[in-house]
């Protein structure tokens, strides 16, 4: 059976891969994700993907975003690296007192729950529906998307599929 790789979106012939999220990745992507040679080779690989991916450090700080994520968010690497996720995606709550991670709304934040869980357990999540009130030049709008997380070395990759605003 042919499947579409969730990372690079190429068609690939399914083998007897284990039913984990990386199992839905083609062989090339599995290699890149499970055994990245260097941080630079991982960044280069992520830049070639069409899906937006944020690279999160263990403290839920964003340490990078691939080219598709930078295009989606309209930000360059400096606006992403070292910032909190709510600041990066312009979450409306990130501007409240306490900031991203410390407001009443943050307890229900899908991104935070999934990234923390994946970081602590190594467990992957696939296509969990999420929504976020984000600040756009015209005002606050609700963004809906599907979140997937994957642990790669000390990082958690956060993939945002089927984003709609």
- CB of 38: closest distance to Zn ion in angstroms? 19
Interface residues for Zn ion in 10-69 (CB under 5 A)? Answer: 26, 29
Nearer to Zn ion, 12 or 81 (CB): 12
Decide if 89 contacts 132 (C-beta within 8 A). yes
- CB of 58: closest distance to Zn ion in angstroms? 25
> And the tokens for 115?
């990234």
Contact call for residue 155 and Zn ion (CB under 5 A): no
Decide if 6 contacts 25 (C-beta within 8 A). yes
Contact call for residue 5 and Zn ion (CB under 5 A): yes
- CB of 156: closest distance to Zn ion in angstroms? 19
- CB of 32: closest distance to Zn ion in angstroms? 8
3-state DSSP call for residue 113?
helix
Distance set, CA 88 to CA 58, 83, 96, 121, 139 (Å): 16, 6, 15, 25, 17
> And the tokens for 164?
């709609």
> And the tokens for 111?
């991104």
Pairing mode, if any, of strands 155-164 and 139-152? antiparallel
- Selected binder of Zn ion within 3, 8, 39, 92 (CB under 5 A): 8
Contact call for residue 7 and Zn ion (CB under 5 A): yes
Contact call for residue 6 and Zn ion (CB under 5 A): no
Nearer to Zn ion, 4 or 120 (CB): 4
Which residues contact Zn ion by CB under 5 A? 5, 7-8, 26, 29
């Amino acid at each position: 059976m042919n499947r579409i790789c969730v990372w690079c979106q190429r068609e690939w012939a399914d083998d007897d891969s284990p039913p984990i999220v990386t199992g839905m990745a083609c062989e090339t992507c599995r290699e890149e994700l499970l055994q990245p040679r260097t941080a630079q080779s991982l960044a280069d690989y992520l830049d070639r993907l069409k899906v937006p991916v944020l690279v999160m450090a263990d403290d839920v700080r964003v340490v990078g975003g691939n080219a598709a994520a930078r295009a989606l968010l309209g930000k360059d690497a400096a606006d992403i690296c070292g910032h909190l996720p709510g600041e990066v995606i312009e979450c409306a709550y990130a501007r409240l007192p306490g900031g991203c991670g410390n407001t009443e709304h943050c307890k229900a934040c899908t991104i935070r729950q999934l990234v923390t869980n994946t970081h602590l357990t190594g467990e992957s999540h696939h296509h969990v529906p999420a929504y976020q009130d984000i600040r756009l030049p015209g005002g606050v709008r609700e963004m809906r998307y599907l979140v997937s997380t994957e642990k790669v070395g000390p990082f958690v990759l956060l993939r945002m599929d089927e984003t709609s605003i």
